[in-house]
Structure 1
């Protein structure tokens, strides 16, 4: 009996002490330092706690202004309220009926051996039946730089199927509706919407790399684990273009690997301009980078974009991207479809191929950009096959099939730098085509024929002259593209373009020499010249000989008016070009296999 008395006494004393302890914990002056001590003991980090107390009815615990020291940024909770479940001690039941967090902060490290601080911070979420979060900021650290992503609102069962969250950061808003898989945050599963100004900014926030884009919105099914993130069934828009497909990121390697299989039903080519720093004309909203590019281009007298490769992005990830566009809107260019296969590995980006398809003919190129070294190296091999000239300007200026090749190597971090160092050749040729007679006569400054055609030609049914051949080959050396040769041979005249285009400053120095094959009245007997720049060409006349002929005409005109026209008459003794040799050379250049790209 005595033993039972002592047992009951001990139980009663323990209950009394527990009750006293619970009562003391309801008082902030006792609960606050005790809670801070418990957190410091559990985390091993300095802790500051402004207010804490136990609530008896309903059973819960509240803390206000909690700060735990962290390497990236301190953990902070402006307020946290926990409501305990009386049945939480039973197996399979959540201990916390509701957890509410307001104005919080946590640090995340995306790179390095230690990817986070306080790895237990988000574990055992199955012990929470429902969570509500408002204004929780994640400070994301990567290579010493930090950015912020804020969970604006989130609610639901953390380890269940009804989690809804809205967040924002890096100019992006994210909507998620799904579940957190597993009791210890094994991953995310659910519907995801990402909407922002530039997808490159969002990729950078995640520690990845992507090209700049116009404003976008992407919807898909997210499946995210520790080392693999997938966004499948993408349905969205980028700029004025639609986008679909699948996107995957594989982590746990030296560089993340991006695998993407993307399609567009209707691609606006302008939407790709931002990638290379080219101006864009879009019907929807533009972002700050597009506006900056458009403004800079409008103020410039250059045609080649003044943009550079972001080597950090290229070297940050590996990638395999397949992209298809079923329809391409490219303004005056008669493009119908686009196919692009890109492989990025160890800082070397290979496009094999980039293929533009037209209604008749196509342009296919293989491009290698080696950004693994300090100065990027570029290798471009492009082929144009049987593109019908009738597709341009409704066939009002030329008809027939056009073929050719672009074979260029260059170096430099920027497009202008690469252009100024370019070496190789550009070859275009056409056979059995037709050229508008008005243009042919104008090239020879045959004013008599031009005036006659302007007076008699039906604009809806223009007159054409047959082309024996047309060959345009430019040999490029250290950024200087020299005509080698450029020849248009028609039934009426032989037109030869001589001179060069300086790709360094984009200046033009070209002369058009014409040898007429028919008697022509009204020729100035001078040669047209093309000066100015690629952006603003200026066409003039080399009139050195014309002044003498004008003087002779004036003298003859004083004798008899009819003879005044003689100095401006070409007797039609022009010769044909050796079209067979020119075309054979051009065709051979276009068909020669490319040299293997440097590894």
Structure 2
């Protein structure tokens, strides 16, 4: 029994041996998996490093990229050369021989042609559907920027061509030996810019030289500014300076603009000089009048809606201007407003504003203008030559340009401290407010200091109707004739103050046509005053009195009253009353004045109140054109007097004076009645109405 018994440890030794056999393979396989995983990760890291460092040639994807671009923008994209991609903080895409097409309406097939284009692409925005290009560099680019009349633009790559949500954002742009062409069909414009980006003091700067045409005006200039557009930061001002010429207008400017494509703010110092302000109608669509050569400098600012030109000085012809003006684009018409002051104003410089052409000698020819064609030279010669159909015209013939009126509304206050060139009349201050509202021009109030007195009233011209309709209501207050007519100063006497009113309504395309069709009336009245007796006697052909005054000296004669009352009907002025009454003489005038043909037909009748031994007082006629009327006595009555004197003179020389003696049949006119009539017309004469006038009322 003892021999057959097994030790306890012999029965329990096998299970531990089997468990050991099951655990042995695991430690040997685990290091193998780790090694394999490490190898894979290392290979992947090496691949990523290689992919990050080494550029990828993506030529097989050129067609696919072109299809995607055309589907998104409607534009063709062709890459004739290699296409490369390189990873980095931003991805970098390089395309050689790049061509992007224009929309079908554009004037050129390609929007962009470039020998080589490098684009930095921000990767994270791509996950949100935004294409952000922090930097773009193009070698020998040829870019076509065109704006259609309906507002479409070739640089808007979105198919919708609207200002909705943007998907493309550009940062800085560097151009190497580039060409940028801007075209605008509505303005008949095509301007070519040769551009080059250079580094100055560590900052990239853009240089450009421009040439082409703008609204058929030649364009030439150069500019330098910050790197192109800086569109990534739309709040950063774009600083630049330029110097150029458009037609006859020279422009120099320096300053900054926020968002040059569609400005939000601007602050510039500018200098302008040109042959005429009217050229700005072709440059910017601003309906300014034609003027002599001008120059100006000042500060130009833009606040998002309004351009303001302030702290400026200007010279137009021989006139100076200053003040502050503003231009605001709005629908349906832009607005021009401001305050203008002139210390010395020459009306000849603004003749076209009042419908009067500038003298040919004052007209300037732009230095850059081309030679005149034979047709243009003939037209200019005809314009400056006197008319072969008749004598020179006096009334302003220049036609108003209603087309300019329709482009602009205006609200301007103008003050001229000294005014020159209104004939020989001494002019003081000119003050008026001009308003243009949908082709309706209003000058109100209108004030002109003239001849020691003043003219005030208003003028309305309606350019919405053809021919234009005009209305004038003008009051004259205390005008001094000796001041108005310098030739009277030598008579050493002073006339009284003249008051009056002019109310007219007419139609036409110039002031001459408006007066030639005018209806209305005019009155002038003068109360008591003085006038030279020598002047009266010469006017009356009174040789004895005139000789006696020359010998012993002139003296003044009291003026009792004067009244001129005329009516207008279709441009024909006729006298209703015209009387000049002194203690010595009564002078009456009757007749007509044709403002259509500028012809006078008046008869002036002087009647003596005193007895003069050498009087040849006879009526005389004033006839002929306004520019050169002819004054002639009544020849029949003058010959009758002169003939009698000659016959008697043959008998006795002393008897020759007998036919010239008058007994003074003239009678005093009722000055009080004349003054009463003037009072009824709203004039402030110098004498009150008499009892007879009160009864008549």
TM-score in terms of structure 2 length: 0.70
Distance 1:188 1:532 in 2: 60
Q: How far apart are 1:341 and its partner, in Å? A: 0.5
Mapped pair 1:46 → 2:135: no
Q: Would the aligned equivalents of 1:181 and 1:189 in 2 still touch at CA under 8 Å? A: no
Q: CA deviation at 1:411?
A: 1.0
User: Partner of 1:12 in structure 2?
Assistant: 50
* Aligned pairs for 1:433-512 within 5 A: 433-457=529-553, 462-512=554-604
Query: Partner of 1:130: helix, strand, or coil?
Result: strand
- Shift of residue 428, structure 1, vs aligned partner: 1.4
1:312 paired with 2:312, answer no
How many Å apart are 1:55 and its aligned residue?
A: 9.5
On the 8 A contact 2:314/2:322 being kept in 1, the answer is yes
Structure-2 residue corresponding to 1:154: 223
CA deviation string 1:539-597 (max 9, x = no partner): 111111233334433443444433332222211231111111112212432449xxxxx
How much does 1:103 deviate? 7.0
Partner of residue 656 from structure 2, selected from 564, 578, 594 = 564
| Structure 1 partner of 2:206 | 131
Q: Structure 1's 365 and 282: CA in aligned 2 closer, same or farther, altered over 3 A? A: farther
Describe the superposition over 1:99-154 as per-residue Cα deviations: whole angstroms up to 9, x where unpaired: 7755743327589xxx99xxxxxxxxxxx942211115574xxxxxx345736111
TM alignment of 1:113-512, pairs within 5 A: 129-135=204-210, 137=212, 139=214, 146-148=215-217, 150=219, 152-157=221-226, 160=237, 162-182=239-259, 185-278=263-356, 280=358, 286=364, 295-296=384-385, 301-330=392-421, 332-358=424-450, 360-392=452-484, 393=486, 395-396=489-490, 398-457=494-553, 462-512=554-604
Distance (Å, rounded) in 2 between the aligned partners of 1:18 and 1:195:
56
Tell me how far 1:226 sits from its aligned partner.
4.9
Contact 1:177 1:192 in 2 (8 A): yes
SS in 1 for 2:681: helix
When Rg is computed on C-alpha atoms for both structures, the one with the higher figure is 2
- What is residue 81 of structure 2 aligned with on the other side? 30
- Contact 2:425–2:451 (8 Å) recurs in 1: no
Q: Which moved more, 1:512-521 or 1:523-532?
A: 523-532
Matched-pair contact (CA < 8 Å) for 1:160–1:179: yes
Of 153-162 and 405-414, deviating more is 153-162
Which residue pairs with 1:2 in the alignment? Answer: 40
Counterpart CA distance in 1 for 2:386 and 2:52 is: 81
Which whole-Å deviations, capped at 9, do the CAs of 1:239-294 have from their partners, x for residues lacking one? 111111111112131011111211112222322223234355799874689x9898
- The CA distance in 2 between the partners of 1:463 and 1:31, in whole Å, is 106
Gaps of 5+ in 2: 1-38, 63-78, 84-94, 120-135, 155-169, 191-202, 230-235, 367-375, 685-697
Greater CA deviation, 539-548 or 37-46?
A: 37-46
Q: Which deviations, in whole Å up to 9, do the C-alpha atoms of 1:412-450 show, x marking residues without a partner? A: 122222121111112112112222222211222223323
Aligned to 1:142: none
Query: 1:75 deviation in Å?
Result: 10
Residues 558, 287 of structure 1: alpha-carbon distance in 2 compared, 3 angstrom cutoff: same
**In structure 2, do the counterparts of structure 1 residues 540 and 498 end up closer, same or farther at CA, with 3 Å as the change threshold?**
same
Q: Call closer, same or farther: CA 1:36–1:589 in 2, change over 3 Å.
A: farther
Q: Which residue of 2 aligns with 1:573?
A: 665
Question: Secondary structure of 2:99's partner?
Answer: helix
CA distance in 1 between counterparts of 2:520 and 2:335 reads 34
* Cα pair distance change 1:346/1:432, threshold 3 Å: same
Q: Counterpart of 1:83?
A: none
1:338 Cα offset (Å): 0.7
Alpha-carbon separation, structure 2, partners of 1:70 and 1:562: 96
In the alignment, structure 1 segments of 5+ residues that lack a partner are 77-92, 117-127, 140-145, 593-599
CA distance in 2, matches of 1:355, 1:441: 37
SS at match of 2:528: strand
SS in 1 for 2:405: helix
Taking the aligned partners of 1:100 and 1:455, their CA distance within structure 2 comes to 91
- CA 1:320 to 1:108, structure 2 compared with 1: closer, same or farther past 3 Å? farther
Compute the displacement of 1:410 (Å).
0.6
Q: Please list the CA deviations of residues 491-511 of structure 1 after superposition, one character each: whole Å capped at 9, or x if unmatched.
A: 211001111111111111111
8 Å CA contact 1:270–1:282 kept in 2: the answer is no
- Quote the Cα distance in structure 2 between the aligned partners of 1:167 and 1:414: 36
8 Å Cα contact 2:81-2:98 kept in structure 1: no
Change (3 A) 1:546 1:332: closer
Aligned 8 A contact 2:420 2:427 in 1? yes
C-alpha distance in structure 2 between counterparts of 1:18 and 1:590, whole Å: 95
Query: Whose RCO is larger (CA < 8 A, sep 6+)?
Result: 1
1:74 shift after superposition: 13
In 1, the alpha carbon distance for the partners of 2:659 and 2:82 equals 111
Distance 1:440 1:181 in 2: 73
Following the alignment from structure 1 to structure 2, what is the Cα–Cα distance between the partners of residues 168 and 407? Answer: 47
Is residue 287–residue 405 contact of structure 2 (8 Å, CA) maintained in 1?
yes
Contact 2:145 2:182 (C-alpha < 8 Å) held by counterparts: no
Change (3 A) 1:359 1:504: closer
Aligned length: 545
Question: SS in structure 1 opposite 2:614?
Answer: coil
Deviates more, 1:482-491 or 1:390-399: 390-399
Q: 1:81 is matched with which residue? A: none
Counterpart for residue 621 of structure 2: 529
Question: How much has 1:377 moved relative to structure 2?
Answer: 0.8
Deviations 1:460-506 (A, max 9, x none): xx433221112122211111111221111112110011111111111
C-alpha separation in 2, matches of 1:18 and 1:186:
42
8 Å contact kept, 1:46–1:69: no
The structural deviation recorded for 1:389 is: 2.7
- Which residue matches 1:79? none
Is the 2:419–2:428 Cα contact (8 Å) retained in structure 1? yes
SS at match of 1:221: strand
